[in-house]
Amino acid sequence: EPGPRKVRFGSQRLQLDETSSTNTVAWEMADQGRLAEGGIVIAARQTQGKGRRGRRWESPAGGLWLSIVLYPELQVRDVVPLSLVFALAVACALQRFITAPVKVKWPNDVLLGGKKVAGILLEINTEFDMIKYVVAGIGVNVNLRAEDLPAALRDQATSLYLETGQEFDLEAVLSAILAELEKAYARYLETGFKGLRRQFMERCAHFGQPVTVHTQGRDLSGIDQGIDDHGCLRLKLKDGRLVRVTAGDVMPG
Ligand code: BTN
């Protein structure tokens, strides 16, 4: 049949009370051929939650901590923009529950009230230039209280509860996320990042703003000129040069 096959997100589900990291569990299961495409590993708590760039991810009870396994027939360079696609999908899902605008921060943070409420960690297992599988880890601070967040993070991180004063049903938020991820992934396989670029830009917290991007051990400061069709951030430096950044951390200013 022509065209990419449709992947069902959440087709298989492993529910854990506590684990080290759902990404690690999903990775091992995928390695052993025990996790179908679209299958998820979800835990109520993680003891060794992983963030991007080797950072730790606080994962107490009250959040959504899950990983999805995918077996895309794509080149490695075409898998990288998936973290933007998934951040956008998570933002759209959360927006169904709240009225305050949910934003995305390139490459893969989801912000609420200017603070991080969710993050994506994409891990790719390759053999030579081929993709064996991709584990997409998604962490959402749903019902976390202020004391659940490390003091050092309280000015940068938040939760749906902290921003709205309301508690949310984790299963309802999970189904919205899986539905949006499934839709965004199908769209991505059809159109590439091109078809999602405009939507990403519309939700982008820093478009047109002065930013500093920490990338490959150095800082680049300039004006955010938006995202290109491959998901790269375009930056206009102070000397007028236009550069493209494939991965990094964006800070305001
Ligand atoms: C980041 O923004 O740095 C990415 C955070 C990703 C956290 C999620 S929680 C579920 C999955 N398991 C992990 O260990 N990390 C991801």
Domain with residue 66: its CATH number is 3.30.930.10
Say whether 22 counts as a known binding-site residue.
yes
In a domain? residue 6: no
191 annotated binding-site participant: no
Query: 209 φ, ψ to 5°?
Result: -100, 155
Same domain as 248, residue 177: no
Atom 11 (ligand 1) nearest CA: 137
Which of the listed residues 203, 220, 243 is the one where a domain comes to its end? 203
Does residue 239 share a domain with residue 121?
no
Q: Is 221 annotated as a binding residue?
A: no
Compute CA distances 157 → 5, 113, 160, 193, 220, whole Å: 37, 10, 11, 27, 24
For a ligand 1 pocket test, name from 56, 138, 140, 214 the mutation site with the most ligand atoms within 8 angstroms of its C-beta. Answer: 138
Q: Is 24 annotated as a binding residue?
A: no
How many angstroms does the Cα of residue 101 sit away from the middle of ligand 1?
22
Q: How many domains does the chain have?
A: 2
Q: What pLDDT sits at residue 5?
A: 74
Summarize pLDDT for 108-147 with one digit per residue, the tens.
999 999 999 999 999 999 998 899 999 999 999 999 999 9
More confident residue, 161 or 77: 161
Q: How many CB atoms lie within 10 A of CB 149?
A: 20
Task: Please list the residues that pair with 56 across neighbouring strands.
Answer: 50
Res 3: pLDDT: 57
173 and 247 share a domain? no
Average pLDDT of the residues in 166-180: 98
Q: What spacing in Å lies between the alpha carbon of 140 and ligand 1's midpoint?
A: 9
Q: Do 156 and 58 fall within a single domain? A: yes
For helices 82-95 and 194-203, the axis angle rounded to 10 degrees is 50
pLDDT above 90 as % of the chain: 93
CATH of the domain at 232: 2.30.30.100
CA atoms of 124 and 146, how far apart (whole Å): 33
> Does 3 reside within a domain?
no
- Average pLDDT over the chain reads 95
| Domain ranges, residue 241 | 210-252
Q: Do residue 26 and residue 43 come from a single domain?
A: yes
CA of 76 to the centre of ligand 1 (A): 20
Which residues are 227's β-sheet partners?
A: 233
Question: Is 73 domain-assigned?
Answer: yes
In the predicted model, what is the mean pLDDT of residues 204-227? 95
* Cβ-contact 102, 91 below 8 angstroms: yes
Is residue 83 classed exposed, middle or buried when 0-12, 13-18 and 19+ CB atoms within 10 A define those classes? buried
Same domain, 126 and 242: no
> Within this chain, do residues 115 and 177 fall inside the same structural domain, yes or no?
yes
Reported as a single tens digit per residue, the pLDDT across 7-20 is 999 999 999 999 99
Predicted confidence (pLDDT) at residue 195 exceeds the cutoff of 90: yes
Question: Among 162, 185, 203, which residue terminates a domain?
Answer: 203
- Please report the atom of ligand 1 found closest to the CA of residue 23: 12
**Cα 121 to ligand 1 centre (Å):** 5
Q: How far apart are CA 101 and CA 83, in angstroms?
A: 20
Residue 174: is it exposed, middle or buried by C-beta count within 10 angstroms (0-12/13-18/19+)?
Answer: buried
232-236 long-range contacts, CB within 8 A, separation 24+:
233/106, 233/107, 235/211
5 found inside a domain: no
The end-to-end CA distance of the chain, in Å, is 50
Domain co-membership, 239 together with 157: no
Structural domain includes residue 53: yes
CA–CA dist 155, 152 (Å, integer): 7
Dist. CA 243–CA 234, nearest whole Å: 6
| Phi, psi (degrees; rounded to nearest 5) at 102 | -100, 125
Measured from the Cα of 53, ligand 1's closest atom is 3
Does 159 reside within a domain?
A: yes
Do 189 and 226 lie in a common domain? no
**Burial classification of residue 192, based on how many CB atoms lie within 10 Å of its CB (0-12 exposed, 13-18 middle, 19 or more buried):** middle
Asked if 223 and 133 sit in the same domain, the reply is no
Same domain, 122 and 222: no
Residues 56 and 152 reside in one and the same domain: yes
The verdict on residue 2 lying in a domain is no
Q: Is 23 annotated to bind ligand?
A: yes
Spell out which residues line ligand 1, taking CB within 6 angstroms: 21-23, 46, 49-52, 55, 57, 59, 65-67, 109, 119-121, 137-139
Residue 218 lies in a domain: yes
CA–centroid distance, residue 19 to ligand 1 (Å): 13
CA distance 83 to 120: 6
pTM of this prediction?
0.96
Instruction: State residue 2's pLDDT score.
Output: 52
Residue 1 has pLDDT above 80, yes or no: no
Phi, psi of 80 (to 5 degrees): -55, -45
Q: Contact, 174 vs 66, CB < 8 A?
A: yes
